[in-house]
Amino acid sequence: GEDVEQSLFLSVREGDSSVINCTYTDSSSTYLYWYKQEPGAGLQLLTYIFSNMDMKQDQRLTVLLNKKDKHLSLRIADTQTGDSAIYFCAESIGGFKTIFGAGTRLFVKA
């Protein structure tokens, strides 16, 4: 069945780059997403990539997609304490169905 996997925790120092990784199983994904969840809040879309793209850059965020290995990554440059949150990888399959990973909790140490 469809599944999205990501590591549960990542700790970085302020100013360093963070790289959050994700693997997915369904090769028919159309869009892949990164969402951010801050404490006590809902998920907020950070960025998305269409499945025929390899890379997307948006200010401090870089998304890399390796379709052959079904691997998605999110790089946050110059990580700040305000980036501390849970980051969810998700894939859209056939439109309305979106599969979410369990989330990676990012800790940023000052």
Partner 1 sequence: NAGVTQTPKFQVLKTGQSMTLQCAQDMNHNSMYWYRQDPGMGLRLIYYSASEGTTDKGEVPNGYNVSRLNKREFSLRLESAAPSQTSVYFCASSDSATYEQYFGPGTRLTVT
As measured in angstroms, the least distance from the Cβ of 8 to partner 1 is: 7
Buried b (16+ CB within 10 A) or exposed e, 18-37: bebbbbbebeebeebbbbbe
Residue 92 interacting with partner 1 (CB under 8 A): yes
Q: Which residue's structure tokens are 């309305």? A: 96
Nearest to 91 by CA among 109, 108, 105, 70: 70
Tell me which of 39, 41, 68, 82 binds partner 1, using CB under 8 A: 41
Residue 103 interacting with partner 1 (CB under 8 A): yes
- Return the structure tokens found at 58: 């948006």
Tell me which of 43, 53, 61, 64 binds partner 1, using CB under 8 A: 43
Residue 8 interacting with partner 1 (CB under 8 A): yes
Residues that bind partner 1 in the complex, under the rule CB under 8 A: 4, 8, 30-31, 33, 40-45, 48, 88, 92, 95-98, 100-103
